[in-house]
Structures are given as structure tokens and as C-alpha cells.
Chains A and B, each alone.
Chain A
Amino acid sequence: MKLINKLASIKFFFTLSALMLIAFLLGGVIPQGEALEAYQQMFGRLGGNLVVALRFNNVFSSFWFMALMAGGALNMVACTVKQWKVLKLRPGVFLSHVGVTLMFFGGAVHGLFAVRGIMALETGQVRSEFDGDSGVSEALPFEVTLKSFQIHYWDQEKHIIHVLKKCEDPGHEGEDLVESVEVVPGKDAHFASTGADLSVLNFYPNFSIGNEGPMTVNEARENPALAIKPAGAKAPKAAKASYLFANHPDFHGVQTADGLRYVYEYNPGRVKQFESRIAFLENGVEKLEKLINVNSPAAYKGYRFYQSGYDPKNPNYSSIQVSKDPSVFFIYAGFAALMIGLSMAFWKEMK
């Protein structure tokens, strides 16, 4: 009984809360999960070593933090048991304590039984395991295949050519913007300010020079470039292609005889949503097909599959978060109990 009294005491609660606040502050201020060298750079050699030795680099999975959480759970349980008679008179306070206790319990269930990780899939690929957060490969009791992957945009990518002219004001350096024209690869563009027509020959998402001349390395928009050539009646017949680079406007910005310069701006489209059509297979037989996107996961046999990422360099790649977490029930029950409890307790005081 003496032990329960001590565990249930408000003094123990305040002590634990102070320690938890310190722990949260440490985890909230010190960058988490970095390498030893990074901490040595931040805090000096001795400080960095100390941070790692005391597990301040991974506060929330350290043994002392777990002990603190266990202490919190014990305090809640002991307080609820000890003050049962009083709490019956104050059901709101009782329920909110039960809610927090359930969350501590849920946290323990999560630590012991939850599995989580990433499944990297390419279109057509079938996998029955994923890379767990702990670094170990986790097996699934079924297979998953990526049937298709799509990215939707709010607006499509744009190619804009700006016409710049050297600043005529003697007191100012730099260039003035004369005109901006949105161009489409494969089509001609007319520039009213210069009266010139340009033929936009080709778009290179990731420009490079190969054995056979200009080429794109891949579809990733890493070094966007446009091939252009004078067009229309005024264009010289033997005109050669020039190249405009979005990332290097000064490298090959095409200069005309009258001091005008063409500069290319690449505007990537803004991603609206990305989604994967996945199928669950058992012994090679398709059991369920689902379209998942961010905020809309799929569930199969206790596992949940969340759209988590994509690779701008590979349009067939989809990164899927896999999770199986039996603690969710306890956590949500804790949430409900806490909210109902607080509502009851506070309502009384608000009146």
C-alpha cells in the first residue's frame, strides 16, 4: 500500500512531468537520428560523444525514456486505483486518467508488436516483403504488385522564353525584360517585340552530350534545355540550332545582333496527387485491387498500405508505406476516453 501511495502521489506526478518535459525538450531541440560526427560538429568532440552515450540522439527510443513512460503509466494506474472512491464522484477526471493510461498501454503495444516500413515497387513488380524501419526485411503473408502509377498535376509544366535587353539607362547595369512568350516544343513561336520567329525544335529534360550529339539522360527534369532555331521568312537558310538552358541562363543565352538575349525558364507543374493501383495476390492469384493515394490507403489482412512517395527520375516507381499496428485500437480508445473525460471535468468548472 505504501508503494501504491508513493506511485499515486501528486508529487510523483509533478516529478515525472518535469522529467518528461526535459526529455521532450531534449528531443525537440537536439536533432534526432544523426551520425556521431554530426553531433561532434555541433557540440564539439566531448559534447558529441556525450550526446550519443546518453542516447540524446535518439531520445524517444532510449531506455531511460521508456523507463520514464513506464513511470508515467504506473503513476496513472496507481492514481486511478487509489483514488477510485473520489474519482467515482468525479467521473470526468477518472475517465481522462483512464484515457492517458490507455495511451501509455497503446504505446507499449506499439513498441512490442507494430511493424512498419517501406515497400519500393516498380510497375509490374511483385513483392512479398518490405524494408522495415528497424532495418530488417519484413515478410508479408501475401504478395503485392504495382499495376500502375500516375502523377496528377494542378497545372502542366511550362516552357517560357524571355527576351532581355541590356539596360539603356547609363546609371544602371543589368537587363530589362522586353517580352515573355510561352512556347511549345515542336512548334514555332512568334516574338512581337523583335518581330522574330523561333522554331522550338526539342525539349531535353536532362540535357547532356552523347556520342551522337545532344541527348537527354533521362526524363528527370534536372537540366532542362530547349533546342531552338530561327524560323520564318527572315531566317537564314543554313541556321543552326542553339540551346537554351533553364539552369544556366548565362551559358548559352542566345544573343541577337541588336543586343537582345533569349533566356529560357522552365516551370515544373505542381503535383496535385500521386496514386498507385496495387493488387494483393495469394499464390499468384489476384484477391483484391485497390487505388491508393495520399490520405487514402488500402487495407489487406491487417496490413495497411499508404502512398508515400515517388521518384521524379522514374515514372514507374512508387514508394508505399506498409504498417501493421495493433496498438491503434488502444490509442483511439484512449483518445475517446480522454476527450469525454476532459469534457465532463471542464464542463463542470465552466459552469
Chain B
Amino acid sequence: MEISLKAAFVFYGAAMAATLLGFLLNKPWKFKYSVLALLAAWLSTTYHIGARWYLAGRAPLSNQYESLIFLIWAFVGAYLLFKHFSGRELEWLAPWTAVVALLSMGGASFLESSISPLVPALQSNWLLIHVSTVMTGYGALLLSFLGAAVFSFMGKAEHADKKKSLESLVYRACLVGFWLLTMGIITGAVWANSAWGSYWSWDPKETWSLITWLYYAVAIHLRRTKGWKDKKFASLMLWGFLLVMFTYFGVNYLMSGLHSYGRS
């Protein structure tokens, strides 16, 4: 199982190296091999998640380590999916996706990774539905953030085509992320109602999820009604992801509540 994670590390590194080498040798294949290496990394992570699921006898989504690995998997998967539907327009983003995935995997390696039995509250099929939707949503919002960050640092005229496709990616990834975040909050509410008899308790995680949700709802409204596109929308996505990070990590470590088991 661990070998698959190490392989993912290597493949993410290869995705970055392929682009670098392609640039140095001035080869046209530089992004193609990056995307292939990214796909290999994603498949390795898929195997890791599957093996862990098999060994634990439950979905590997019960602590910070497991959810972070799933988030990275969803992030890379979201990129590959968008790339697949956009032809070659987005393949130049592959090495940047690999950088973010590699750094996140590095972060995950500091977390407690042992498989432990579930506490009673987590023994429910809702664990899989709720956590996987939220993490996939975070993955899509991370992709929107990455696109926004790259967009913000791009020059004006010389990258007009790239900027157009990137701007579209930033918005579409935001829509997917927002849809999944909404679904995640709703599944969490339904689970809470079936476990504790209350669909909303203003627990810190719930409150910060709502803050994040409202922020992205306002961002989408600003774009649709006030025409906030390009740099303005990219800035919104950059700041928005800080909220996502705080909701995901900050609340777990700084505040105690119904989601406290998520920090272990």
C-alpha cells in the first residue's frame, strides 16, 4: 500500500521534470508527458485509497490524513477531467497541478496515517457520502484557486488564448466546487439529523462551511450580475480558498466541536 503512495510521489515529480526537460530541450512533447505522469500518479493514489479501504474495511475518510489524500486525488482527478473535455487547451497546467499535489502529499506525510477503528458517530454510510462530496468539492475549489493564481501572474497580451481557457477553467471549477460544497453541507445536515436529531447546530465546522458557501455564492452572483470576470474573479477565488483552508484545517486544530475527530 505504501509503495503506491511513493510511486505517486515519483510520478508527480516526473510530471514536473518532463515539462522542465521539454523546455530545456525545446521539445513539443513537454506537456504531453507531464499529463501522462499525472495520470499515473492519480492511478497510484487511486490504488492507495482502494487498498486502504480494503484493509480498513471502511471508506478511508475518517481522519485528516485520509481526507487529505482523498482531496489530492479529487484535485488531480478534477484537473484530468477538465483537461480531457478541453482538448489540449489546459495541458500546460499539468506541471503546476503536479507541484500543488506534491506539496500537499508532502504535508500529508506529516500526519498520523495509522488505520484506527471508527468512533460510534462515524459508523454510518453517510461518512462516505458526506466526506467524499466535501473533499471533492475542496479539490475542485483548489483547482479553481490554482487556475486563479496562475491567471493572476500571467502577462497581458502574449497569453491571450491561454488566459481565456484558464479563466473558463477557474469559473467552471468554482461551479463544480460550489455544487459539491452545497451537496456536502446538505449531506452533513441530513447525517447530523439522523445521528443527533439536529440538522444544524452552529458547530464551528458548520459555521465556517456556511461562511465559505456564502462567500462562493456571492462570488458567483458578482460574476453573473456585476460582470466580475478575469482578475476580479480570480482574486475572489484566491481569497475564497483561504476560507476553504481555514474550514478544513484551521477549525480542526483551533476550535473544538462535533467535528473534532477530524483532527486526529
User: Which residues of A pack against B, CB within 8 Å?
Assistant: 10, 13-14, 17-18, 20-21, 24-25, 27-28, 32, 60, 116, 154, 270-274, 293-295, 297, 304, 306, 308, 321-323, 325, 328, 331-332, 335, 338-339, 342-343, 346, 349-350
Q: A24-B210, A295-B124, A339-B182 are in contact. Are A272 and B197 (CB under 8 A)?
A: no
- Specify which of B121, B198, B221 lies most central, judged by the most chain A CB atoms within 10 Å of its CB: B198
**Distance A104 CA – B172 CA, assembled complex (angstroms):** 28
B92 CB-CB contact with A under 8 Å: no
Contact B197 A28 (CB under 8 A): no
Within B13-31, which residues are at the interface with A (CB < 8 Å)? none
- Whether A331 contacts B197 in the complex (CB less than 8 A), given A21-B214, A346-B175, comes out as no
Q: A272 touching B221 by the CB < 8 A rule?
A: no
- A349 to B224: give the CA distance in the assembly, Å: 11
Q: A248 vs B242: C-alpha distance in the bound complex, in angstroms?
A: 45
Across the interface, A21 reaches (CB within 8 A) one of B176, B202, B215, namely B215
Q: Which of B119, B202, B225 has a CB less than 8 Å from the CB of A60?
A: B202
Distance A28 CA – B120 CA, assembled complex (angstroms): 26
Say whether B218 contacts A17, CB under 8 Å.
Answer: yes
Q: Are A293 and B195 in contact (CB under 8 A)?
A: no
- Cα of A191 to Cα of B132 in the assembled complex, Å: 49
> Beyond A10-B225, A339-B186, is A21–B123 a contact (Cβ under 8 Å)?
no
Which of A17, A271, A294, A338 makes the CB contact (< 8 A) with B182?
A338
Least CB distance, A55 to chain B, in whole angstroms:
14
A17–B120 CB distance below 8 A? no
- Give CA–CA (A24, B210) in the complex, Å: 8
Q: Mark B99-138, 1 if CB is under 8 A from A, else 0.
A: 0000000000000000001011101101000000000000
- For the A-B complex with A331-B189, A346-B175, A350-B176 known, give 6 more contacts whose Cβ atoms are closer than 8 Å: A17-B214, A273-B123, A293-B120, A308-B196, A335-B189, A343-B179
- Cross-chain contact A349 with B172 (CB below 8 angstroms): yes
Contact between A322 and B121 (Cβ–Cβ < 8 Å)?
Answer: no
Q: Does B195 lie within 8 Å of A24, measured CB to CB?
A: no
B172-185: CB near A (< 8 Å → 1, else 0) gives: 10011011001100
Q: 16 A-B contacts, Cβ less than 8 Å apart?
A: A14-B222, A20-B214, A27-B202, A28-B207, A28-B211, A60-B202, A271-B120, A272-B117, A294-B195, A295-B195, A297-B194, A304-B197, A323-B198, A335-B189, A342-B182, A346-B175
Q: Is the CB of A294 within 8 A of B120?
A: yes
Residues of B within 8 A of A343 (CB): 179
Q: Given that A338-B182, A339-B182 are contacting pairs, would A32 and B202 also be in contact in the complex, using a CB cutoff of 8 Å?
A: yes
CA distance in complex: A128, B133 (Å): 40
- Provide the residues of chain A in CB contact with B215, threshold 8 Å: 21
B191 to chain A, nearest CB (A): 8
* Interface contact B186-A273, CB-CB below 8 Å: no
Report which residue of B178, B195, B208 has the largest number of chain A beta carbons within 10 angstroms of its beta carbon. B195
CB contacts (< 8 Å) of A295 on chain B: these are: 120-121, 123-124, 126, 194-195
- For the complex, is B262 an interface residue (Cβ under 8 Å from A)? no
Closest chain A residue to B186, Cβ basis: A335
Q: Shortest 5 CB-CB distances between A and B: which pairs?
A: A323-B197, A294-B120, A28-B207, A295-B124, A154-B117
Tell which of A18, A28, A116, A304 has the most Cβ of chain B within 10 Å: A28
